[in-house]
Amino acid sequence: MASNTRMDHPHDDPAQDARLTELEIKASYTEDTLDRLNEVVVRQQNQIDRLLRELAELKLHGAGDGGMAPRSLRDELPPHY
């Protein structure tokens, strides 16, 4: 007759169960972190795309201003400076 102790089934080891549970928790947190980071990357890529479109529009409109040289920010200062 086979004995029916906890050590007969390795998956019944409390220490192993605790380690497995800890790994499952870490994997869950890691997956959540990865999902949040992916959302950030997608949002940043959308911002980059929008900024690139705006830059292209600015360059396009800047080319139609008669070829004026870029102005200095000092030229933009109010008279009281």
* pLDDT of the residue at 73: 73
Q: For the whole model, what pTM was predicted?
A: 0.55
Q: Which DSSP string do the residues of 8-62 spell out, in sequence order?
A: GSGGG-HHHHHHHHHHHHHHHHHHHHHHHHHHHHHHHHHHHHHHHHHHHHHHHHH
CA–CA distance from 50 to each of 8, 22, 38 (Å)? 62, 42, 18
- Measured CA to CA, the distance from residue 46 to residue 54 in angstroms comes to 12
pLDDT at 67 over 60: no
The string of pLDDT tens digits covering residues 14-55 is: 999 999 999 999 999 999 999 999 999 999 999 999 999 999
* pLDDT of the residue at 62: 78
* pLDDT of the residue at 7: 52
Q: What is the mean pLDDT of residues 59-65?
A: 74
